[in-house]
Amino acid sequence: MKTSVEYPDQGTITLQRTGVMTSYIGESYKWGMFQAADGTILYSTRLGTDWAQPGQLLYPIVEQDNGLLYIVTHGYPASSLLGTTDVDRFITQAAIWMYEDKGQIHDNFLNGSDPYGIMDEYILPLAETASKITSQAEIIEPVATIENGAMSHDKNDFFILHSPKITVDIDDGAIATISLSGYNDSGHYIIDEQGDHRTQFSDNESFYVEIPWVDCLLNREIDVTVEGDVTLPRAIEYRTSLEGNYERLVGLKEVTAKVTTTVPLPMSVDLAIADYSVMSIGLLVAVGAIITACRALFKRHEKKGNGGSDVSNCK
């Protein structure tokens, strides 16, 4: 099973400054609080840059940083840390700098007065975990799951195979579209639990794929593609400008992404006991057809031999 994701493009946003954080380590570490016009909380990711200014346009950066995603999904405002808004925001900002720019952090901050114990309890663990997962591939949950099992024969037609049940898992209210590899009219082979043919399904709906038995005999690889919309957390990083010592900021946004899951059909066949009578009839018909064809061919050769010339040439 393979799953891929296509994120929507992000536009520019305008920076707002909403105040100054209280210093919870020492007394002199008070940092500006930033957000976008839509209320998204933003954090600085670089210590050695000029501070961003209110009213500046922020331009999105395409690449995704899994480490930053971890911190902003486990920091303020997505998660509760110490439990107070101000200190949770301070922890999140410090953890981002610790992760992105630790070499720029002064020893006075690393070893400063810490009455709440937030350095060892929150800041360092967030940054260290983010560093461990930064190079890992992004894991996206599939939008469809297939039950374990083999293909099975249709109870009314032995030469048609049914897949195990496949269930859709997308956003409530969204619609998943189903298609099959190698079939121009794949809707003809997709059926819902009532046996009706259709190619669009909602969340938690299930369907089956029916294929001709010959596809299995030929060991043909058939993939089911399920495509649907899913809301996912995304760490959107922005830059203020490409001129001079530009600042970078990051914020957590919930975006609607198009997720595609490819499910390979199993090519093994489950032969139930009830199938054997149907199979026997099918095999008898096939054998009978072969015998009839052979007899017809033999008679044609026999008539040809009665003419004399072909028979004598064979002696």
pLDDT tops 50 at residue 309? no
- The listed CATH number (2.60.120, 1.20.5, 2.40.230, 2.60.40) that belongs to domain 144-231+260-270: 2.60.40
pLDDT tops 70 at residue 188? yes
What's the chain's average pLDDT? 84
pLDDT given for residue 281 in this prediction: 46
pLDDT given for residue 278 in this prediction: 47
Encode burial over 257-280: b for 16+ CB neighbours within 10 A, e otherwise: bebbbbbebbbeeeeeeebeebee
pLDDT given for residue 220 in this prediction: 79
pLDDT tops 70 at residue 131? yes
Q: How far is CA 215 from the centre of its chain?
A: 28
Question: Tell me: the pLDDT tens digits for 243-300?
Answer: 777 889 999 999 999 999 999 998 788 765 444 444 444 544 454 455 455 555 555 5
Q: Alpha-carbon distance 104 to 26, whole Å?
A: 17
pLDDT given for residue 308 in this prediction: 44
pLDDT given for residue 157 in this prediction: 83
Question: Tell me: the pLDDT tens digits for 229-254?
Answer: 999 999 999 998 867 778 899 999 99
Judged by average pLDDT, the poorest of 55-69, 212-226, 296-310 is 296-310
pLDDT band at 95 (very low <50, low <70, confident <90, very high): very high
pLDDT given for residue 296 in this prediction: 53
Secondary structure class of 185 (helix, strand, coil): coil
Other CB atoms within 10 Å distance of the CB of residue 281: 11
